[in-house]
């Protein structure tokens, strides 16, 4: 399991879609958090960035089933025993190499994706009783719109906390465990021991055409939801 840094080989793990998804999400999440807190005339832009986050997250969820080997949830979602074993392994000095997300990080990815989707969906049906109602608020009761707004405020803060934990975890892996994870999320190539590097190089890749089709469907789904009343009336 443990190898000196020099024995590591760079192998392709994160496809261009996962990388573009991640760094676009970072920019849009920061923009959404700031504009949500500032409020006022920024809420118009906040809603647009929220729609973009929803499209990205829908894309990533589907890509987690039809994307390349390491984009798939099946490659990084594991049971509690693997998580505990990995967590205990972190206490040792050695580095535990994994091709995709590690067993604890994998669960964080799932939680972040689901909560981001929930956050945007609460936004879609919310009413802030000031000047803004989400585009689908008219299809639910006023009571639910108001509840959705308070869940949106609460979940916004929960997400900020989870993102802080996510960034601290990445800092820990990079500086304490000396894993070049940020570089991997930029270039797509992760430094791995030879056997894992061989396995990663031979793994199933997804076609770019499939990625563009899934992304287009995700954008279309959000556009339909946001414009439902304009396009379909009522
Ligand atoms: C500058 C800040 C950030 C850095 C340096 C960073 C870095 C990373 C890295 C290195 C990974 C891969 C971890 C691994 O190898 O297992 C990752 C994954 C991920 N990060 Fe971040 N991250 C940042 C901010 C964010 C923010 C703001 C979000 C939004 C909620 C976010 C959501 C995610 C998600 C969902 C994944 C899984 C990627 C996938 O499989 O598609 N990150 N991040
Ligand atoms: C996943 C994407 C989104 C994120 C991360 C996000 C995050 C936030 C945050 C952090 C706040 C500040 C809450 C507070 O007062 O502490 C906020 C406020 C708000 N968000 Fe979002 N939001 C997202 C999507 C949306 C969408 C799609 C809509 C509407 C269509 C929306 C509508 C609003 C409104 C109206 C407020 C102001 C609430 C108030 O008056 O206090 N958001 N959002």
Q: Which two tokens stand for residue 213?
A: 């089709």
CATH of 17-171+209-229, one of 1.20.950.20, 3.40.50.150, 2.40.30.10, 2.60.40.10: 1.20.950.20
* Whole-structure pTM value: 0.95
What pLDDT, on a 0 to 100 scale, did the predictor assign at position 130? 87
Q: What are the angstrom distances between the C-alpha of 85 and each of 36, 74, 109, 114? A: 39, 18, 19, 25
- Give the Cα separation of 81 and 125 in Å (integer): 39
Q: 64 in ligand 2 pocket by Cβ < 6 Å? A: no
HEC assignment per residue over 158-215: HHHHHHHHHHHHHHHHHHCCCCCHHHHHHHCEEEECHHHHHHHHHCCCCCHHHHHHHH
**Predicted local distance difference test score (pLDDT) of residue 5:** 54
The SS3 assignment for 219 reads: helix
For the segment 46-101, what is each residue's pLDDT rounded down to a tens digit? 999 999 999 999 999 999 999 999 999 999 999 999 999 999 999 999 999 999 99
From the CA of 166, how far away is ligand 1's center (Å)? 7
Token pair in block for residue 148: 């959705």
Q: How far apart, in whole angstroms, are the C-alpha atoms of residue 165 and residue 77?
A: 19
Burial 56-79 (b: 16+ CB within 10 A, else e): bbbbbbbbbeebbbbbbbebbbbe
Residue nearest to atom 26 of ligand 1 (CA): 26
Which structure tokens are listed for 95? 């580095």
Map residue 99 onto helix, strand or coil.
Answer: coil
Q: Which residue is closest in CA terms to ligand 1's atom 22? A: 167
The structure tokens listed for 108 are 């964080």
Ligand 1: residues whose CB is within 6 Å? 18, 21-22, 25-26, 29, 60, 101-102, 105, 109, 112-113, 163, 166-167, 170, 181-182, 184-185
CB 82 within 8 A of CB 89: no
Low-confidence ranges of the chain (pLDDT < 70): 1-6, 234
d(CA 222, CA 100): 29
């Amino acid at each position: 399991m443990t190898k000196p840094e020099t024995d590591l080989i760079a192998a392709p793990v994160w496809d261009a879609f996962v990388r573009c998804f991640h760094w676009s999400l970072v920019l849009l999440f920061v923009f959404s958090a700031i504009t949500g807190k500032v409020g006022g005339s920024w809420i118009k832009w906040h809603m647009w960035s929220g729609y973009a986050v929803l499209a990205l997250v829908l894309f990533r969820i589907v890509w987690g089933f039809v994307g390349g080997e390491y984009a798939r949830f099946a490659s990084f979602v594991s049971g509690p025993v693997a998580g505990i074993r990995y967590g205990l392994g972190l206490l040792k000095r050695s580095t535990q190499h994994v091709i995709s997300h590690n067993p604890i990080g994998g669960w964080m990815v799932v939680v972040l994706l689901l909560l981001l989707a929930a956050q945007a969906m609460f936004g879609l049906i919310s009413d802030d009783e000031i000047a803004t109602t989400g585009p689908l608020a008219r299809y639910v009761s006023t009571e639910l719109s108001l509840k959705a707004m308070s869940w949106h405020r609460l979940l916004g803060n929960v997400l900020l906390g989870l993102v802080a934990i996510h960034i601290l975890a990445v800092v820990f892996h990079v500086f304490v465990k000396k894993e070049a994870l940020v570089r991997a999320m930029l270039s797509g190539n992760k430094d791995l021991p030879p056997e894992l590097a061989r396995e990663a190089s031979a793994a199933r890749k997804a076609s770019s055409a499939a990625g563009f089709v899934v992304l287009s469907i995700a954008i279309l789904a959000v556009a339909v939801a946001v414009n439902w009343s304009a396009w379909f009336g009522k």
